[in-house]
């Protein structure tokens, strides 16, 4: 499935999240990319489709989720490397400089990852969310130092729009040790 536009609703309730996921798919011509619980008792719903349908689906999900909605987004023309990084299928041949953006919601992290991937010549290594992280999420990326710095800066600057939560921390490591690189890729 080639993704065009993706939309997300992140909720503070598993059962409400399940209801929202079902209703989002029924409300518009979209397909589920992901619908699952995350820590700490959150539920994440991601859909794809044409921009208008995704916007409609996300708006419907937000209305149903009401005060259980933690965060949300719609990203038209999502960068092709975001979903493989989310699914743990990104291919990264080697690590040069390392960048990391840590956020307090999964939705914010996906927004930051998309902006980072679009801003510079970087490879997204991993986009990990919530599971075992107390609800936090992070994205890691690699490339030349200047590209990684530009991408991290763009990701950090983008978060805070469209309902996204704040960045907790971010870093660029110009030359990670070989030991640390091996842990990241292994």
| Whole-number pLDDT of residue 135 | 72
pTM metric for this prediction? 0.89
| Whole-number pLDDT of residue 104 | 86
* Three-state DSSP string of 88-108: CCCCCCCCCEEEEEEECCHHH
- Given pLDDT bands bounded at 50, 70 and 90, which one contains residue 150? very high
| Whole-number pLDDT of residue 183 | 82
For 18, the enclosing helix (H) or strand (E) is: helix 14-27
Find the range with the poorest average confidence among 52-56, 96-100, 159-163: 159-163
| pLDDT tens profile 100-130 | 999 988 899 999 999 999 998 999 999 988 6
Q: Which two tokens stand for residue 109?
A: 């992290």
């Amino acid at each position: 499935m080639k993704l065009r536009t993706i939309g997300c609703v992140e909720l503070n309730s598993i059962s409400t999240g399940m209801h929202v996921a079902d209703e989002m798919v029924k409300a518009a011509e979209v397909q589920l990319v992901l619908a699952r619980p995350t820590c700490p008792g959150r539920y994440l719903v991601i859909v794809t489709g044409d921009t208008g349908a995704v916007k409609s689906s996300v708006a419907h999900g937000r209305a149903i989720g009401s005060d259980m909605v933690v965060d949300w987004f719609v990203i038209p023309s999502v960068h092709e490397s975001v979903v493989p990084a989310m699914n743990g299928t990104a291919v990264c041949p080697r690590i040069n400089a390392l960048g990391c953006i840590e956020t307090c919601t999964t939705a914010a992290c996906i927004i930051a990852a998309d902006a980072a991937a679009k801003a510079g010549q970087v490879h997204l290594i991993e986009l990990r969310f919530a599971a075992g992280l107390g609800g936090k999420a992070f994205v890691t990326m690699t490339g030349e130092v200047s590209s990684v710095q530009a991408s991290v800066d763009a990701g950090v600057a983008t978060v805070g729009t469209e309902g996204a939560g704040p960045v907790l921390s971010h870093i660029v490591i110009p030359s990670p040790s070989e030991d640390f690189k091996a842990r990241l890729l292994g």
